[in-house]
């Protein structure tokens, strides 16, 4: 069985580098970059770490990157794909439940410290609903949370959900019947809220979505907003590093 982890980025080598440094699970990795100049060093980094790499001649947005991932997934004949932002850090063993869940659901999502900036949104995915353990970007914290969730929910690792956050989600070959065209899973005319539209197609066509209770991912959430100094950004719900 061949599985893929796809990370989308837009010139953020520092986020990408940190995400790859935390990856301990055995899985193929694809990096799709949104047209970053070569001098940033993302292509060189991917070659050094033997990662699949695709870039563009100019920035075309996240939806375009997601469709590139989907096309790569189809063309290479992978069984399952985990599609993720770059502002994440992974505990050891996070991928096992997500990948297995693609046999049960059309889309599977993980638990996170910050799946979104609003604690009232995507309530099923918030870590605080399942443990009082404090989240941190540190390896010890991530691994401890992952092991806790696996022990706590190992016998019943999945629950059905009606929506999911697009920062990270997994799908298998069953996703093909929810694509907008032969080559694209998402509508290329739009660059936001694509997971909402996918959710609607899944619901309308009799599909299913699930939450993997034994998969945890640390998410910075709105890392780009904070880098650029935008105001009124919801604070990260994590303990200090």
| Mean model confidence pLDDT for the chain | 90
Other CB atoms within 10 A of residue 63 CB:
19
Q: How confident is the model at residue 230 (pLDDT cuts 50, 70, 90)?
A: very low
Q: Tell me, yes or no, whether 150 lies in a domain.
A: yes
User: For residue 219, what is the domain's CATH number?
Assistant: 3.90.550.10
Helix (H) or strand (E) holding 80: strand 80-84
Crossing angle (nearest 10°) for helices 62-75 and 194-204: 50
The residue to which tokens 């991917």 are assigned: 46
Number of domains in the chain: 1
**CA-based R_g, the chain, Å:** 17
Per-residue pLDDT tens over the stretch 112-151: 999 987 888 888 999 999 999 999 989 999 999 999 999 9
Range of the domain at 107: 3-227
Q: Are 102 and 113 in contact (CB under 8 A)?
A: no
Q: Tell me, yes or no, whether 133 lies in a domain.
A: yes
pLDDT for 224 equals 45
């Amino acid at each position: 069985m061949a599985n893929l982890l796809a990370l989308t980025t837009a010139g953020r080598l520092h986020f990408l580098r940190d995400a790859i440094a935390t990856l301990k699970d055995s899985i193929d990795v694809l990096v799709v970059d949104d047209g970053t100049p070569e001098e940033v060093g993302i292509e060189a980094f991917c070659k050094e770490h033997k990662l699949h790499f695709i870039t563009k001649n100019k920035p075309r947005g996240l939806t375009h990157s997601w469709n590139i991932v989907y096309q790569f997934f189809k063309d290479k004949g992978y069984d399952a794909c985990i599609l993720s932002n770059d502002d994440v850090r992974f505990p050891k063993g996070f991928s096992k439940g997500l990948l297995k869940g693609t046999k049960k659901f059309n889309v599977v999502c993980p638990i996170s410290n910050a799946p979104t900036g609003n604690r009232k949104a995507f309530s099923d995915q918030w870590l605080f609903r399942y443990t009082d353990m404090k989240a941190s970007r540190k390896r010890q914290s991530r691994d401890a949370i992952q092991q806790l969730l696996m022990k706590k929910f190992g016998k019943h690792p999945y629950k059905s959900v009606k929506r999911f956050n697009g920062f990270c989600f997994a799908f298998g070959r069953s996703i093909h019947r929810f694509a907008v065209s032969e080559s694209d899973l998402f509508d290329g005319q739009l660059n936001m809220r694509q997971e909402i539209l996918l959710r609607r197609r899944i619901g309308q066509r009799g599909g299913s979505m699930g939450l993997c209770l034994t998969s945890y991912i640390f998410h910075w959430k709105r890392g780009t907003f904070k880098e650029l100094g935008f105001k009124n950004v919801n604070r990260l719900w994590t303990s200090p590093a």
